[in-house]
Structures are given as structure tokens and as C-alpha cells.
Amino acid sequence: MNTPNPALVTQRAVRRLPRLALWLLCAAYVLPGIFFRDPWKNADITAFGYMLSLVRGDSGWLNPSIAGLSSEGSALPYWLGAWSIQAFGGWMDQALAARLPFALLLVATLALTWYACFHLARTDEAQPLPFAFGGEASRIDYACTMADASVLALIAPLGLLQLGHETTPELVQLAASSLLLYGLAASRHRHGRSIIALLVALPALALSGAATTGLLYGGVGVVLARRSSHAPTRALVPWLLLGMLISAAAAAAVDAWASRLAPLPEVLGMPKLLAWFTWPIWPLVGWTLWRWRRQLGHHHVLIPLSVAAVAIGASAAMGASERALMIALPSLAVLAAFSLPTLKRTVSAAIDWFSVFFFSILALLLWVLYASVQTGVPAQPAINIARLAPGFEHRFNAPVFVLALLATIAWIWLVRWRTSQHRPVLWKSLVLPASGVALSWLLLMTLWLPLLDHARSYRPLMNRIARIIPAEACIAGPDLGRSQLAALEAQGRWRLSRDRSQAGCDWMIIRRTEAVNRPAPSTHQVVPQGWRLVDKLRRPTDRNEVFYLYRRA
């Protein structure tokens, strides 16, 4: 028989995930990638360059710039990084200091997603049906279990791995969207906190380069609040309008009104992006929408669905932008959590076994490649890596090795625990996907961090340039992008200019795209008038990007 509410949950199924296990999982997800690495190309090093430009006084705080290239309205993220560098850069690496507030933003996103799902699951419409003779899940235990599941669902997607560990404006947008989701979700139970959350979230979006998205969020919030049957939620309308007004003023102050609309052919890539970026939670989101289709107008479905729809629409309008899509993940994680009370046992088993095979094979592959580089057995993987990353020398690091080994042992124990017997708890289907993602990320950021740093950082190229161009010299980069200019400023301490005719700029770097096996251009095609070609350089792992170094003749 069809019932208005599809959730049938016993008290046995709402045991909370042990707090220590949840905290360790979040730590294994958040902490790797923060320490012992350089900023990577392209967005990561660009953001770091803007932060250093503010710290050194080379640009104004309302409009951060690098060699005259503005940040296009994304001021708040660079303020956070610059303030952190000013506070901690004197006794730690500046890149690490800049990364600290963004790590806290990722932690805040996980926490806000938990509380948003908790308050949505507390509502009467989201509660499971009562049993005739009792034994159904209690309200608070059910809400806590669903909130635990939402955190697991947020860790599981592949799209958040790298983007969530960078120092970019999108991470501020991610935390702000989570804060907005919490503000709308908690309005019935935490009205005062909801108002504060909304008044912070909307301006934060405007100051981090998402002014239009923030106004759309505010408009959707107004519609949801006005249609609500609950007085505390309806009372959010004037506060949402005030937040939109503040956002518009803040966006105007930092010149954030920039159009990023993409042509239609680029928009057509949206289904493919959604498929891999939100895997494995998008099937669970689809199942939620199907099983709760008679409750689409209720807050526990309507609020996260509306917030996610705005982010997905913004991503599509920007040409299937994965960075814009990232801010939809907290809302999608909440929707995925609400699939668990109605998930069939066969589907849960399929998720478990897929996770076991996929992440176990991936971990084994990473260990085999690591053994090949360290010992030469098997030999072929080490040869392939040496060819793909010339100049890289791998050194054994005992603490890193032990940490990776302990994480692998923990994965083996978790797989044995999960598959040994049937467990009725709701969050069981998301434990292995979330833990597998955390394991893979931890192995990459321990065993393979030196290689990734060599491959994705501009440091090897900057070291080669430093052997030729003296420190504090002025370099003209008329066609260099933001990431190359940021690398020159952050890792070389040279003075930069976009004008090669500027007096005192005796060095120039020109970037060209040129295949490795393509014949080199003749001298008259390469050397600009009045300049002398000094050298031709490449990044070790980039076979197409070439940098020509010139000195004024």
C-alpha cells in the first residue's frame, strides 16, 4: 500500500556513527593536501599570488591584482589568505599559512551540512511512520543518524577532492552555500541563528565572485519562505531581502558584476559533468526524488533541492563549470541522505561491493606504483613515471610510509567489518564510499605528494628561471596568464610588468604552445625587435607549453 511517507525506520537502524570514527574520517579527508606542498597550477597558485600581492602592498584591498590583472570581484577569499599570512607567515611557510583558513572553511562546510540535515530531519514531514506496536525510530536519533549520513555523502563525491583542498574563491562559495542551506533549514528551530547565517552567507557569496548566484539564492529563499506554512520561516523574508541588498552593495564595492555566460555548445557538457563530478551520490539523489515525490513541497526535500538547482543552473550557464557545480554538493548530500530510509537492501549491497572493488584496486595500484619507484620492482611503472616526470627523484619518507600503511590497514578492517554481517543502521551504505575516497586521497597526498608537487607546481620552472634572471629584476610578461604571473611573484620574488616597453624591465618571458616534436621556430619568428633570446624552457611535465626568455638587447 502506498503511504504518504515512504520511510519505515526502526530504532535499531538509527544508531549514530561513533564520534571518534566520524572525526577520524573527516580528519583523513581534510588534513592531507594542506601540508608540505606548493600551490598548484592554475587556480591555486593564482589565488596565492593575489594574497601575496595584498600582503606586500602591491595592490589595493578592494581590487586585488597581479601585474595589473584584477581578481574580477573575488576579494573576500584573498583577504582571508592575506590576513592569515600576516598572522602566521612569520613562523611558517606562507603557502601553508594561506591554506589554513580554507581548511577551516572545508571543516565548516562539513559541520554546516550536518546541522542542516539534522534540522530538516527533525521536521514532522521527514519523520518515519510510527509502527502500530511501537519500536519506530525516535525523532532526535533519526535526525542525528541522517545528519551523519549527509556528511558521508558529502565526502564521497569525486568532484570535491581536489577543488575542496585548494585556496580558491570557490571554497568560500562552498562554505557560504552551506551556511545558506543551514539558515533555511534551521529556521523553525534556530530562528535567530538562521537570520545571522543568511545575512553572512549572501554577502560572502557576493564578495567571493558569485554575486549573481547569491542574488538567485536570496530570491529562491524569499519564495520558499513566503510559501512556508510555518511562521518562523515566513519571518525570514525581510532578512533575506536585507541580505540581498547588502550583497548588491558589496558586489558593487569590489566590482563583482562580471558576466560569465558561456555559449550553448559548452552547456551541453553538463550531463557528463554531473555524472562524474557527483558520483556516487547522484543515483541516491534520484532515488530520493522518486520515493519522496509526494513530499516534494516539504522542507526536507524542497529546500536542498532548490539550493542545488540554483548551483546546477549557474554551472550550466557558465559552460558546465565544475567549480560552480561544487557549491551544489552540500545540498545534494542532504538529498542523498534522505534516500537511505527507503533504499533497498540489494542496492545497498551493490554500492558496498562496488566500493570495495574499486577503492581496493585503486589502493593496490598506488602501492604497486610506489613499490616500483622505490625498489625498481616491477620495473616498467618506474620507467613510465620517469618518462612522464623527467627530473623527479623520489626519496623514502618513513613517517609518510607508516601513515599510509596504517590508513590501508584501517581500510582492510573496515571492509571486513562492513561485509561480515548485515547491519541495519541507515548510514551503512555510505561508509565504504566515503572511506574509500578518504583512503585514496590520503595515499595520494602521502606516498605520491612529491611527484604530484613536481608535476603540478611551477616550482621546477621557477628554479630554472632563477638560475638565469637575478632576484628583484623586473620581468615583462605581455602574454602571460594569471597563474604564470602569480608563480613569478610568489616563487621568484621578481618585479612584474605587462608592458615590455617599461623602463627598467630588461627581461621578458613569452609563452607559446608548441608540441615537443614540432620543429623550433626560426630566430626571426621568435625574437622580438630589440630583444635577445636567452633560453627556451618547459615545465617538466608539460609537453606543449614553452617559455621563451629574452633580455633587452
- What's residue 522's pLDDT? 47
Cβ neighbourhood burial of 265 (10 Å; 0-12, 13-18, 19+): exposed
5 domain-assigned: no
For the stretch 509-548, pLDDT in tens is 998 887 655 555 544 455 778 889 999 998 888 878 899 9
Q: Which residues contact 254 (CB under 8 A, 6 or more apart)?
A: 62, 63, 73, 75, 207
3 domain-assigned: no
Q: Within this chain, do residues 43 and 94 fall inside the same structural domain, yes or no?
A: yes
409 domain-assigned: yes
Q: Within this chain, do residues 411 and 503 fall inside the same structural domain, yes or no?
A: no
| Spatial separation of the C-alpha atoms in residues 549 and 526, rounded to whole Å | 10
For the stretch 73-127, pLDDT in tens is 789 999 999 999 999 988 899 999 999 999 999 999 999 999 999 999 999 888 8
233 domain-assigned: yes
Q: Within this chain, do residues 322 and 358 fall inside the same structural domain, yes or no?
A: no
C-alpha cell at 31: 588534513
Q: Within this chain, do residues 273 and 309 fall inside the same structural domain, yes or no?
A: yes
Q: What percent of the chain has pLDDT over 70?
A: 95
Mean residue pLDDT of the chain comes to: 89
C-alpha cell at 147: 545528519
Q: Beta strands 507-513 and 474-476: pairing type?
A: parallel
CA angle 65, 71, 73 (to 5 degrees): 130
157 domain-assigned: yes
Q: Residue-wise over 228-262: b if at least 16 C-beta within 10 A, else e?
A: beeebbeebbebbeebbebbbebbeebebeeeeee
Q: Within this chain, do residues 336 and 317 fall inside the same structural domain, yes or no?
A: yes
Q: Within this chain, do residues 55 and 193 fall inside the same structural domain, yes or no?
A: yes
Q: Within this chain, do residues 369 and 336 fall inside the same structural domain, yes or no?
A: no
Q: Within this chain, do residues 61 and 161 fall inside the same structural domain, yes or no?
A: yes
For the stretch 482-503, pLDDT in tens is 899 999 988 887 888 888 888 7
List residues bridging with 74 in a β-sheet: 208
DSSP 136: B
* Section 20-31 average pLDDT: 95
- Domain of 393 in residue numbering reads as 345-456
Cell 552555500 appears where?
177
Contact between 40 and 456 (Cβ < 8 Å): yes
407 domain-assigned: yes
| Spatial separation of the C-alpha atoms in residues 240 and 187, rounded to whole Å | 12
Contact between 64 and 53 (Cβ < 8 Å): yes
Specify the number of domains making up the chain: 3
10 domain-assigned: no
For 129, other C-beta atoms within 10 Å of its C-beta total 13
Q: Within this chain, do residues 59 and 138 fall inside the same structural domain, yes or no?
A: yes
For the stretch 288-342, pLDDT in tens is 999 998 888 899 999 999 999 999 999 999 988 999 999 999 999 999 999 999 8
Q: Within this chain, do residues 305 and 444 fall inside the same structural domain, yes or no?
A: no
Q: Within this chain, do residues 420 and 513 fall inside the same structural domain, yes or no?
A: no
Q: Among positive and negative, which fits the CA dihedral 409, 411, 413, 415?
A: negative
Domain boundary among 414, 434, 456: 456
Q: Within this chain, do residues 450 and 523 fall inside the same structural domain, yes or no?
A: no
Domain boundary among 456, 483, 515: 456
11 domain-assigned: no
Domain boundary among 342, 376, 410: 342
